[in-house]
Structure 1
Amino acid sequence: MSVVTQSTPTPAHLLVYEAQQLPKLRSNYGESLDRSSIGWLKQTPADSPIDKMRKRYEEDGYIYVKGLLPVQDVLDVREAYFAHLAPTGILKPGTTARDGIFDTTQDPIVHNGNGSTSLPKGIERQKLLESAHVLPIYMEFVKHPKLRSFVREFMGWEEEVLAKRTLLRHNVPNGISTGVHYDRLFLRGGEAEFLTAWIPFGDCTAEGGGLMYWENSTDIGKAMEADFMKRAETFTKDERISAFNQNMSRLGHLSHDVSNFSRDTVANEKWAKLIPQDASMRWLISNFEAGDVVFHNPYLIHAAVKNEDREAKIRLAADIRFYEEGAPLDQRWMRGAWRADDGL
């Protein structure tokens, strides 16, 4: 006698989410992505069983946790950050720091965030970005008990270590933001693997400059890193661990054109053989909300969407990395807070 099994029905809110019309997206340069190459990130409620979370992370290279952090705590950081930057003229007159609406009469390049390719013009603006990384409210936030306890439980660690060099980045409409990369490129100085948490400070539409993750790309990222390191065998240690050595692009990223990057990579036999048969290779996005956190592994390839938010909202987010206590971590990232001239 055959046994009929029934799959668990998809919750109604996820059906609505997955049925949303996919927007037109692009990266810093190049053409818009075809909608057939875009998909939605899988959502995982914060109260999901931890074993199921771990399984999803192992399979997908990321876990997108909905509502992990208190919304007001997240928005308080957003407000403090833009109040700190308000003297630069970044905010639209008549709006609040908590809103974080860009003054579109300003030059986006003058008000770029703090990526290696997107420093703002003017030393005073750079100093404000540096000092934003040590604002008391932000320094307390990265110790948030809900965040830190989740990391320990999820990773099965007794204690976690936060890399002191965190990245608190804003992404103004039509500005330059993060190019295509995997995180290991920039954290090669320690043997231990690490966990990245990407935290949006405020709601961020799919068109609003949030991250997009290249589906099923972990094995490609690992192979690319192994290839880079093999070609760097004759380098000094400092050269070998640099994201800016002669084997790398001038700016450390793999590309700033998501459409061309994915097309060329899939067409390259060296990388294409790593793609499982019938695997989808879409760029995964979301309409992020305050309180959400995406955790991803060191090799999953990702980039920022060009911010084309209809309300000119500035995307603000943090990239923070965790190691297990006692693991051989990248000591370069333990020297202190981000600085524009730290060479990393």
Structure 2
Amino acid sequence: MALAFPASAIAHEPDGAVADPARDRAAILAMQGEYAVDFAFDETVPLQPAYQRQPPLRSGGHEAVIVVEDAARDGRPDRIVLQHILVDPKSGHVTKHWRQDWHWQAAQRFEFSDEQTWRVRDMPAASAAGTWTQCVYEVSDAPRYCGTGRWHHDDGVSTWTSDLSWRPLPRREYTRRSDYNALSVVNRHTVTPSGWSHEQFNTKVQRGPNGRQRALTREFGFNDYRKSEGVDFRPARDYWAATQAYWARVRERWEPLLTSPSGVHLKTRVDGMAMIVPLFEQAQDVEQGGQVSDTAIDAVFSAWVEPATSPTAALQADR
């Protein structure tokens, strides 16, 4: 059943514009569905004298985007969770992919501050007014990045643009690059007639101690989600129906770590596979009708996740 929101749910933004969280919510929910996806990344502006642009990267796939949560509070949208699941059209094999959570006027968010480390940053109420914070998670539901911005619906086109934030290297890069260790990113999501798009305005940066930074190059990323009717996405929905309760238990372990002021540090290598593999194996056991104990999930977290220790110079300098 659709949620209805009263006129009091409309917020006035600091610049005098009016935010419409109900319309924003509709735009976020428009990203659910079944898609053929193209991923394109092009380095654009070299920022160091000797730097040579790397070849463009192209890939693609088929992805179901499923609504996990659509919650309201005090008559307003509050939190929307979308889970992405990849499907191989030929074999029907599915892979749990990334997750995006949207928070209306978030009071805090996590930020990538150092190698395998994320810290929690408070969001002043004045700057959060009228905004949505999008937080993105790994396939293991480990953190990746958050961004905050407003949805705009000018000329009937719904677009959200984030502020500038840090994110770790993407999988396409850390398997072959060692000359930078962070991306400085602005993200833009737009609902289109054929689906939706995700634009990424990236700067590849080598962050060092004491807040030193060396920007290598800029990059433009374009992820194009087009509605697909020629692929059977039932395996994705069947997988999620069988495992969603298990993954909810995994998210319950992450939640206190990602809201604690100290933040979280992952003891895995950058690829995260030491944690991804056992969690995926447990999910497979559940999918096949087995049971996974809380003790088994906790053992994975105990082995690979810990509270962060001290704030990093990079994040201190950024603030």
Instruction: Return the TM-score normalized by structure 2.
Output: 0.27
- The structure richer in helix per residue is 1
Larger relative contact order, structure 1 or 2 (CA cutoff 8 Å, min sep 6): 1
- The structure richer in strand per residue is 2
